[in-house]
Structure 1
Amino acid sequence: MVWLLSLWALYFILHSLLAAEPVKHWFQSVSGISKQAYRIVYNLFNLFGLLGLLWFHIRFVCPPFYESATTVIVAGAVLTLAGLAIMIQSAREYELSSFLGLSKETYMPLQIRGLHKYMRHPLYSGTLLFFTGICIAFPFYKNWYLLILMIVYLFIGMWLEEKKLIHVFGDEYKDYMRRVKRLIPGIL
């Protein structure tokens, strides 16, 4: 299981590293590709890396943490669907074609509408809720260990993202941080 979790950790590290502005600029200067092309390559790397890891993860045989009853599986499915709904709604609040690299990146004002009125990182909230539901419904050790790794990664990712957002939006973002919690409205 160590190698599986190591692959996930490597994927998370590369995901953040390749999104960092200095790495993007370096890669663009060395390769000569545009920002838009880099975004497409970055997203393809993430997609195929994620699909490959999911394939290995699903095939990896591992004992369950506990035996789940039908009611527990249903509860996990409800959480998974709620997380998915939050992720989809959160994605709708962004200019997806620009995010994916399919159109030229434009300046986007600070996003404080929709779910962002209630939490600063609704996509992360949805992701954690989604995967927590998976862990409850399919309580294999590998899933719970991955959830722990994912929580650590997302908190580091939030910290890095917020540093960048403070740099871009300054006091406007700092004020937003004081008013709105990160993941759970009014709590966390």
Structure 2
Amino acid sequence: MQIVVVLGLGRWLAQGNQPFAQPLWLTSLRWGMVACGLVLGLFALRAYRLGPFVGWAQLRGEEDAAQDLAVAGLHRHMRHPLYTAALLLLWGRVDHELALATAIWASLYLAVGSHFEERRLLARYGEAYSRYRAITPRFFPSLF
């Protein structure tokens, strides 16, 4: 959800900025990244329970003990498909200086955030997460 705020604020602040001059192939690649990010994000969301994911359960004081470790579907190929979707969206929208700065800083935020999430998941799921982490890439699927 935070990524939507970051993208929206970036677009609002960038009003009037001159876009980078880009060849058609690069513009097409960027929009392809946005499309892939949207599709990947929607498919990745299917692995989570909505209440705990958006914070409603926590606001009601409920624990998320029912959420099993997700290792099927997209999680079979990458540990953080939602982060990957966010990265694709961020970098696919880079068409001016502020969007580039937003993509850089948000990418750093996601990298650091994933480190803390990994620690939380390891504490919660223990050896099962450790084994999963050893064989599954963090953000991008392995080609081999």
TM-score grouping bracket, smaller chain normalisation: 0.7 to 0.9
Deviations 1:115-166 (A, max 9, x none): 000000000011111221111xxx2011111111111111100100001111
- Asked whether the equivalents of residues 10 and 102 of structure 2 are also in contact (C-alpha less than 8 Å), the reply is no
What 5-or-longer segments of structure 2 have no aligned partner? none
TM score, norm. by length of structure 2: 0.82
Give, in whole Å, the separation in 2 of the partners of 1:144 and 1:48. 16
Identity in percent = 27
Q: Select 1:62's aligned residue among 17, 36, 51.
A: 17
Shift of residue 95, structure 1, vs aligned partner? 0.6
2:82 corresponds in structure 1 to 123
1:122-141 to structure 2, matched below 5 A, reads 122-135=81-94, 139-141=95-97
Give, in whole Å, the separation in 2 of the partners of 1:166 and 1:106. 15
Which has the greater radius of gyration? 1
1:150-161 to structure 2, matched below 5 A, reads 150-161=106-117
Higher relative CO (CA 8 A, sep ≥ 6), structure 1 or 2? 2
Give, in whole Å, the separation in 1 of the partners of 2:25 and 2:122. 44
Q: Which is richer in helix?
A: 1
Matched to 1:177, the amino acid is R
In structure 2, relative to structure 1, the CA distance for the partners of 1:93 and 1:48 (3 Å cut) is closer
Count of aligned residue pairs for this structure pair? 138
Q: Kindly report the root-mean-square deviation, in angstroms, between the aligned alpha carbons of the 2 structures.
A: 2.4
TM score, norm. by length of structure 1: 0.64
